[in-house]
Structure 1
Amino acid sequence: MTSGLVLLLLSGASAAARGQTGPPPGSGLAPRTQMYLSGDAGSASDNYWRRIAIGLGISLFAHEGAHVLTSLALGFHPHVGLDHGRPTIFSGIDSQKYPHKQFLFSAAGLTTQDLINEAILDIPHSRGGAIERGILAGGIGATLFYVTLGRNGSVSDIAFMARTSSLSKTQLSLIFGGVSAIQALRISRDSSYAHFFVRPTENGLGIGFGY
């Protein structure tokens, strides 16, 4: 009985080890998805989420940088101030006197993110990297915010564009939201971006963060 129990435990341990290391080569079986709750996934993807964050940061920097460069190109002096305690880039443009220029300033951020995403999706290259995914998510996420929660903010890009043009907030939301929706659809249909927020590991896929 004891020897049988030992054999059973050994066979169970062997099976568990095989389950952790993935199917044997040439078996034709798909890698298993693994759920990591601790830092025992010592693979080359340890910095995956950091690279995602870098991509998000690049997208945000492009958004804010486009505002600054547009204001400077139009001959004004943008500056950073606080709006209800939140750091905000102000155009330095008198929107009453120069509504068209204010519109260009307000549209620059989302437009730049859309153009970057379009370039990523259109220009042939090796797709699916973590930084690239972060950039795409940053652009789509920014648009989603501005057409929903941020739509009516006091310094909202959508609100300012509506004030300085003949377009309504609904029309602007449909324009920018429609572009991002198409991009999201293209991403969902591209196998290079499968499991968009799932971390690849040496033995399969890891969902979640490692600590």
Structure 2
Amino acid sequence: MKQVTTINVYLLRHGKTAGLPALYGHTDIGVADEIQAAMCQNLLAQSRSFSALQTSPLKRCQDLAKRVVSNQTGLSYQIKSQWREISFGDLDGVPFEQAEHAWPLLEAFWQDPANNPLPGAESLQEFHHRVSLQWQEFCEAAQQDTLIICHGGTIRMIIANVLQLDWRNPTLYSALSIGHQTLTHIQITRAEQLYTRVCSIGAPLTGQ
């Protein structure tokens, strides 16, 4: 009989970005130093432990990964470009106050993002495919408890994959809250086959 092993995966959404309110997808905007420092401190104070760390390449995630690694002996991190947020195309990073001309497009996108892609944007189908492939690759290769620092959209796509939800359903984006500085906990169990389960979603990151 094959040995049963369980791996904990912690999906951490980055802190609130420093820019004006906008859709920040591939735009490489940062998070204030004091927020990053507090997140790092709270992470290291958690009872949850992890031996591996992966991060989106965007600095709002990677800067935190660098802080965690510098404060935890023997830990390194891997950059995985597939963990990036969706690209919002021509409106990516454009402050809402400067995008009044695009409000009808934005409203349609928020109501049904799968069927109303923004101009020049990555489609929701492409985003789902990108994240799902990376998640499957991760599940097959993971050997130790892992922290993944990424984005709200990325976490939603992983949850949809694990729970076999329809990624086209608008309520996955409008009714599921994945706040900044929150942890989503997933367990991967290897036995005769691979099992995944969601243990918690969007738990606030606080020190203990």
TM-score normalised by the chain length of structure 1: 0.29
Q: Which has a greater percent of helix?
A: 1
| Larger CA Rg, structure 1 vs 2 | 1
TM-score normalised by the chain length of structure 2: 0.30
Q: Which has a greater percent of strand?
A: 2
